């Protein structure tokens, strides 16, 4: 799943591509922690619901076979 983390902040705008939902969520949280307004969009520019993304990550992690 390809997505963009976008942010507006003190030093301007950021747009970062990610193929990993967990990485995108972590990046958005980090950007908020350093004073940016951050959100996640799909490749078409539609906002992605972060709560739904967290649930999808959690369920995918639980379904993964343990080693």
Question: Can you tell me the distance from the alpha carbon of 11 to that of 30, in angstroms, rounded to the nearest whole number?
Answer: 15
Chain segment 4-58, per-residue pLDDT in tens: 999 999 999 999 999 999 999 999 999 999 999 999 999 999 999 999 999 988 8
Domain interval for residue 34: 3-63
pTM here is: 0.83
Chain segment 43-58, per-residue pLDDT in tens: 999 999 999 999 988 8
In contact, 50 and 28? CB cutoff 8 Å: yes
Question: Can you tell me the distance from the alpha carbon of 56 to that of 67, in angstroms, rounded to the nearest whole number?
Answer: 21
Task: Name which residue leads in pLDDT, 63 or 18.
Answer: 18
Domains held by the chain: number: 1
């Amino acid at each position: 799943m390809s997505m963009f983390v976008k942010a507006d902040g003190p030093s301007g705008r950021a747009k970062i591509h990610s193929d990993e939902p967990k990485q995108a969520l972590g990046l958005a949280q980090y950007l908020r922690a350093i004073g940016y307004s951050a959100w996640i969009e799909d490749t078409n520019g539609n906002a992605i619901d972060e709560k739904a993304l967290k649930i999808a990550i959690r369920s995918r992690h639980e379904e993964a076979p343990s080693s």
